Amino acid sequence: MKNLLLLLLPIALSAKVHYAKVEPIETATIKSSVSGIVVQADRAAEGSVLGDEAFVQIDDALDQENLKDTEASLELMKESLDINQDILLGLEASLERQKGFYERMNGLETASQTQKDNAWNAYIGAKNQYLGTREKIISLKKTILDLGYKVEMLKDMIAKKHIALPGQYLYKLMVHTGEFAAPGLPVATVSDITRAQLIVYLDREELQDAEGKKITDKTIYIDGQPTQLKIDRLWKVADSQYISSYKARIVLLPKYPFSKLVKIEFK
């Protein structure tokens, strides 16, 4: 019995072995946020790192024309605003003169009531013209704001129809040329392959050994070789799928081939 315990002791003390697949640090499904006909879907880009050019292009011809017309309208409204602001300066000066003339006329005992009424009407007419121009200026400013907002909206929509993800690895393209893209339609699956990750699931007993050493302080062995790697993130709540285990992530440079299954030990 004693000999049996001695044989079992090294096994009990050995580090638990985990296996994990080398995966990209992040993988995401890109979805369309606008609608339109797909006029370009570069299927040849699958399995490669994307450049600056669009690998999916949604038809934006009408948006481009709308943008051009809206920008032209915006410039016209700005010119009209400048003109009316110049007019307002003249009307303001005229209003002050009409007001002064009326006040002088109204104070003259020798002036007839008709003269006083004419001066009053001239003053009120000048004031109404001044206020009307001010109101027009306010309306023009509001129109300029609305057109400016529309320009930005169109630019944003055009940009979203030009789908380019420089530096991302295109794993799968999900749309075809001629297909109608609606908001929420999956377009592509892409990955960030500048770094890699290993995901392992640890038992509660592994988080801290009998000697009190935390797993985050232990040396990580990959395929039997010690490394300088450390656990990048350790979930404190047990995993919903692996109910009694805690998820841990190890980040590493992609010197290991992606999708390779590696052996992981913490010692």
How confident is the model over 192-227, as pLDDT tens digits? 999 999 999 998 888 887 667 888 889 999 999 999
Q: How many independent structural domains does the chain possess?
A: 2
| Alpha-carbon gap, residue 216 to 231, rounded angstroms | 6
| β-bridge mates for residue 214, sequence order | 208
Residue 141 within a domain: yes
- Is 255 found in the same domain as 181? yes
pLDDT band at 15 (very low <50, low <70, confident <90, very high): low
109 phi, psi to nearest 5 deg: -75, -25
Q: How confident is the model at residue 49 (pLDDT cuts 50, 70, 90)?
A: very high
Using the 3D structure, point to which of 139, 160, 181 is the last residue of a domain. 160
Looking at per-residue confidence, does 132 or 204 come out higher?
A: 132
Q: Report pTM.
A: 0.75
pLDDT-based confidence at 101, cuts 50/70/90?
confident
pLDDT of residue 241: 77
| Structural domain boundaries enclosing 78 | 61-160
What pLDDT band is residue 117 in, cutting at 50, 70 and 90?
confident
Question: What's the farthest any 2 CA atoms get from each other in the chain?
Answer: 136
